[in-house]
Amino acid sequence: MNYFLAKTDPDTYSLDDFIKEGETIWDGVHNNAAILFIQKMLPGDLVYIYESLSTKAIVGLAQVTGEPFLNTADPRRSWAVKIKFLSGYVKPLTLAQMKAIPGLADFNLIRQSRLSVMPVEPKHQKIIKALLG
């Protein structure tokens, strides 16, 4: 099982929206590097949900439930994947908190903050999991 992080703008699609739906197609990803990461997702993989802009925190956890697919409904080249909501975090893990942890200095969220989807390496996942409780 692999871990990923997927970013969302809470003004467009928040964790509350995801909770209400329970399952969604994670789409709108156009960056080539992020598309490559979506293509690596497998059913059963876990995905940290990160609200960008105002929240700037990992707020929830989801699970991949389908194979990645070319999103033909999008006029721009994009890929999507189906995920289901697993849980929200009572105390989200903020970007500021992550930046303060030396073991996360090379985490993609900190190094390549513009990516909307990224893998979470096992060494980073252990730290994040411990911080989230």
Residue 53's pLDDT is what?
87
Query: Which token pair is 36?
Result: 């490559």
- Amino acid at residue number 104: L
Rounded to whole angstroms, the Cα distance separating 88 from 60 reads 4
Q: What percentage of the chain carries pLDDT values higher than 90?
A: 91
- Model confidence over 33-78: pLDDT tens digits? 999 999 999 999 999 999 998 899 999 999 999 999 999 999 998 9
| CATH number, residue 21 | 3.10.590.10
Q: What is the mean pLDDT of residues 95-114?
A: 93
Please tell me which residue, 107 or 114, carries the higher pLDDT value.
Answer: 107
Number of domains present in the structure of the chain: 1
- Amino acid at residue number 107: F
Q: What angle do CA 101, 64, 105 make, to 5 degrees?
A: 15
Asked whether residue 114 carries a pLDDT value surpassing 90, the answer given is no
Residue 28's pLDDT is what?
87
Place of tokens 């925190």: 57
Q: What is the mean pLDDT of residues 99-123?
A: 93
| Domain that residue 127 falls in | 3-132
Burial class (CB in 10 A: 0-12, 13-18, 19+), 90: exposed
Asked if residues 97 and 48 have their Cβ atoms less than 8 Å apart, the reply is no
CA nearest neighbour of 92 among 46, 41, 54, 38: 54
